[in-house]
Amino acid sequence: MIVIAGLVIGAALGARIALKSGGRRLDALQYAAGYGILFALVGLFLTIAIDRMV
């Protein structure tokens, strides 16, 4: 669940950053994909760490 939330939040944040800096639609999609992947990976590692602690 943390992974999916990270993906959605990262994609929204990436698109917002791209559009705020004057990027076009394809720039926003690329930023959304990059940030979404990054946040999903962080969420994956966080999920693994929480699972190992419990």
| pLDDT value, residue 22 | 96
| pLDDT value, residue 29 | 98
Measured distance CA(5)–CA(22) in Å, rounded:
26
Q: How many structural domains are present in the chain?
A: 1
- Tell me the per-residue pLDDT of 8-52, one tens digit each, with 9 for 90 and over: 999 999 999 999 999 999 999 999 999 999 999 999 999 999 999
| pLDDT value, residue 44 | 98
pTM exceeds 0.85: yes
Domain that holds residue 16: 2-53
| pLDDT value, residue 34 | 98
| pLDDT value, residue 7 | 98
